[in-house]
Amino acid sequence: MTALIELQEQISLIKTDLAGRLPDIKDLDALESFRIEFLSRKGRIGELFAFLGRISSEERATAGQLLNALKQEATAAFDARRNDLQQGALAEKIEREKIDLTLPGVCRPLGHLHLLTQVQQEIESIFLRMGFDVASGPEIEDEFHNFEALNIPADHPARDDWDTFYIDDTMLLRPHTSPVQIRVMEQTEPPVRIICPGRCYRRDAQDATHSPVFHQIELLWVEEGLSLANLKYLLESFIHEFFGPGYTMRLSGDFFPFTEPSVQVHMRAPGATEWLEIMGAGMVDPAVLTNVGYDPEKVTGFAFGLGIERMAMLRYGIDDIRLFFGNDLRFITQF
Ligand code: FA5
């Protein structure tokens, strides 16, 4: 057998092998190994070029043509298969990721501000319009700002009034927002006109009107010439604006170590017989003004601390404070 005939047989074997195995190749990695087996320099087709050395010079041109044709044919077959595999993978991906635009969308309900936040913001906006600034202070407070500076010395029985959560010997969770009064006055010269909304903590037993965590808004106004009459007028304007007509306010005498005189403010909803205490208030005690370096002979002031939960309860007819913290959507979504 001449070398040319042998070469033709080899070529035909390779073609059969290629045609038989190529359709079974299912992924691009396998195809690449297969291509290397046939088409790399040392691959099965590459090796056939060695025949050229053994073939007579008359037949060498024919042999060369046959080999080049085989190489082209094989390359074209690999390219075609690669193309098929890539198209197939793409089609499969498209099929897998197909979105049915006719399906109804997934509806994510939008939340809204909690009723307590709404009420707090509304009260803030009323006082901002009256010319007050909003101040804030720490929820973890020291005894000095929470008690001493507010005229409540260590052995004062009033400290029992605030059954307080202590963090350690000197730090505590503030039971009221009044320490913010001190923090603001320490840093500001009169006149001072601020409100301070914030969270408070007390060891109060939980019931329909008490929660161990609740919210207050503190108000403080210090200036020359303020009297209890100004406080009463401010309260009436605020109550009227917040509740609208029909609500009744009642002031009664009370005691706070940091105000003198002190009052308790109760409110009654239209048609109701029960009064609900909403805030404590009073004229800032001269001792407190002196503690922060103010001259009580020159300036006077008044302050109050109101419970935000109680305001919301009165306005919306909510009879249990625990509803605010239960996170029951049937309650929350009503507001
Ligand atoms: C005080 O906390 C004083 N710091 C208020 C004050 C400020 C007086 C400035 C004078 C000058 P009292 O303990 O009364 O006072 O609380 C004020 C309001 O906070 C109450 O009227 C009530 O509305 C609310 N409150 C108090 N404790 C609770 C509680 N456990 N749960 C819900 N609300 C409460």
Model pLDDT for residues 104-144, shown as the tens digit of each residue: 888 888 899 999 999 999 999 999 999 999 999 999 999 99
* Backbone φ and ψ of 167, nearest 5°: -85, -45
Which of 119, 310, 319, 320 to mutate to test ligand 1, by most ligand atoms within 8 A of the CB atom?
A: 310
How remote is the CA of residue 176 from the centroid of ligand 1, in Å? 7
Q: How many Å apart are CA 333 and CA 56, to the nearest integer?
A: 96
Q: Please indicate whether residue 279, judged by its CB atom, sits closer than 6 Å to ligand 1.
A: yes
Count the neighbouring beta carbons within 10 Å of the beta carbon of residue 154. Answer: 8
* Three-class secondary structure assignment of 252-285: EEEEECCEEEEEEEEEECCCCCCCEEEEEEEEEC
Does the beta carbon of 309 sit less than 6 angstroms from any atom of ligand 1? yes
Neighbour-count burial for 239-257, b at 16+ CB within 10 Å, e otherwise? beebbeeebebeeeeeebb
232: CA distance to ligand 1 center in Å? 18
CA torsion, points 47, 50, 54, 57, in degrees to nearest 10? 120
Residue 31 in tokens: 């195809």
Nearby residues of 30 by Cβ (< 8 Å), 6 or more positions away: none
Ligand 1: nearest atom to the Cα of 212: 30
Residue 212, helix vs strand vs coil = coil
Ligand 1 mutation target, pool 161, 228, 277, 285, most atoms within 8 A of CB: 277
Q: For residue 289, which phi and psi values (nearest 5 degrees)?
A: -60, -40
| Residue 85 backbone zone (phi > 0: left; psi -120 to 50: alpha; other: beta) | alpha
Nearest of 89, 177, 185 to residue 136 by alpha carbon: 177
What six digits make up the tokens of 63? 């042999």
From first to last of the 335 residues of the chain, give the pLDDT tens digit.
Answer: 688 888 889 899 999 988 898 888 888 888 888 889 888 888 888 888 888 888 888 888 888 898 899 899 999 999 999 999 899 889 999 999 988 889 888 888 889 999 999 999 999 999 999 999 999 999 999 999 999 999 998 887 767 656 788 888 889 999 999 999 999 999 999 999 999 999 999 988 899 999 999 999 999 999 999 999 999 999 999 999 999 888 899 999 999 999 999 999 998 888 889 898 999 999 999 999 999 999 999 999 999 999 999 999 989 999 999 999 999 999 999 99
